[in-house]
């Protein structure tokens, strides 16, 4: 055996890996996600998260004004505009009727 390989083997660390401190919790959560009731909830959550993300892109991520009443007004206006946008997306004929 060459001298270089003997030196390498003397200083090599044993192979293996360490698990995360929370690995048991992660495995339990993954198993829980396979249940039908949890799958339905996760699908619903994805829909809601997508709508919240769209609201954030349209200005709900940061308040323009100070005060709870003004912030609430800004959010209501933004949500109203998003609902109108969805109406035009669902039925493009509405947009054509408005242009005529």
| DSSP, residue by residue, 32-98 | HTTSHHHHHHHHHHHHHHHHHHHHIIIIITS-SSSSHHHHHHHHHHHHHHHHHHHHHHH-HHHHHHH
Is residue 77 predicted with pLDDT exceeding 80? yes
**53 pLDDT more than 80:** yes
- Mean pLDDT for 36-48 is 91
Looking at residues 25-50, what average pLDDT do you find? 91
Q: How confident is the model at residue 27 (pLDDT cuts 50, 70, 90)?
A: very high
- How confident is the model at residue 10, as a pLDDT? 59
Residues 65-89 have a mean pLDDT of 91
């Amino acid at each position: 055996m060459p001298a270089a390989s003997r030196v390498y083997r003397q200083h090599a660390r044993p192979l293996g890996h360490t698990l995360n401190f929370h690995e048991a919790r992660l495995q339990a959560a993954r198993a829980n996600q396979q249940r039908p009731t949890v799958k339905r909830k996760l699908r619903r959550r994805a829909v809601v998260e997508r709508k919240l993300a769209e609201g954030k892109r349209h200005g709900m991520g940061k308040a323009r004004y100070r005060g709870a009443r003004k912030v609430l007004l800004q959010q209501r206006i933004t949500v109203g505009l998003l609902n109108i946008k969805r109406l035009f997306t669902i039925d493009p004929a509405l947009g054509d009727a408005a242009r005529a």
